Amino acid sequence: MIAWRLRWVAYSLVGTAVCALAPVVKAADATEVAAAFAQQARYLANQALSYEHGEGVRRDPEHAAVLYCESARLGDPEAMYALGWMYANARGVGRNDEFAGTLFAMAAFLGNAHAERMVRYTGDYTGAVPDCLHPPPGTVLEEWPADELIAAMSGDRQRIARLLVELAPRYGIRPRLALAIALAESNLNPVALSPKNAMGVMQLIPATAVRFNVRNPLEAEDNIKGGLAYLRWLLAYFEGDIALAAAGYNAGEGAVERFRGVPPYRETRLYVERILAFVRNPQHPYDGSVVAPSRTISGLRVAATKEQDS
């Protein structure tokens, strides 16, 4: 599982950037495009190194960290290692051992020898990354080509995946998020049953099935419609915050409000990480007419904004 997550995070960083430019570079060879991004990543990493040590420019560790992070987001393993070192030693950024461990693990996975040595001391990979490694919302394609992923699935799972992708837009849900939730919940198994009596593709507990008018939770289409209706509700309730909506889907919206954010349950935190890694976007459009937003979470946002402005 850890190796899968490392592979996903390390390669999805540059993959997101390439996909965002796909409409512009359709005629270009994929290898040439990847090489161009790698060249830009190296340029940024070299610039960061100069600012980190004051070589030919003013010494500015904070600016170096910004440049390293952008280079790392484009897939440069040396930048991942350098940024990890900065987080491990509070150089230009606040110390954060979890960020350092993830960055070292990503760099090591991509073959950086220095990072491989550091991984021995930083502990298990957690998946925690600084905000700058999440791609800006504007770089993520609205239209996600799901066909290639679905084509690699077995026949039964293909049928469920295509049904999910077809139904999702009717509920204002992007297919990528819908598929992420269904894969995390049941791996697209329409007759899945959990020890907590969660059922079907979207793993609806009886109370949620009743709440969203699901008559037969083990019938794939009925189950998916109920799960999408719940996800639409959660996105509206948490104002498009995918991490909170995913946490609510896993642990219930009450738990999110109680803990004023993603609950500290290990299962829920790993679940949210998996969803965010798959969708590669922290925000999602939502229909504000579905439900009024959570007063608790909205209040926290307002307070945080006022604090930043003061």
Helices 61-73 and 77-89: crossing angle, nearest 10°?
A: 140
54: left (phi over 0), alpha (psi -120 to 50) or beta: left
Amino acid at position 188, single letter:
L
Tell me which long-range contacts 111-118 makes (C-beta under 8 A, separation of at least 24): 111/77, 112/77, 112/78, 112/80, 112/81, 114/81, 115/77, 115/80, 115/81, 115/84, 118/81, 118/84, 118/85, 118/88
Closest alpha carbon to 238 in 182, 273, 175, 286:
286
The two structure tokens encoding residue 24: 């512009």
Closest alpha carbon to 76 in 169, 150, 11:
11
- Which one of 70, 185, 257, 273 is the catalytic residue? 185
Clarify whether 185 is annotated catalytic: yes
> In angstroms, how far is CA 246 from the centroid of its own chain?
11
Please give the full DSSP string across 201-246, using - where no structure is assigned.
TTTB-HHHHHHTT-S-TTSHHHHHHHHHHHHHHHHHHTTTBHHHHH
The answer to whether residues 107 and 136 touch, using CB atoms and an 8 Å cutoff, is no
Closest alpha carbon to 164 in 192, 194, 140, 188:
188
The two structure tokens encoding residue 168: 């999702």
Question: For residue 49, what are the CA distances in angstroms to 58, 78, 185?
Answer: 12, 10, 43
* Residues tagged active-site: 185
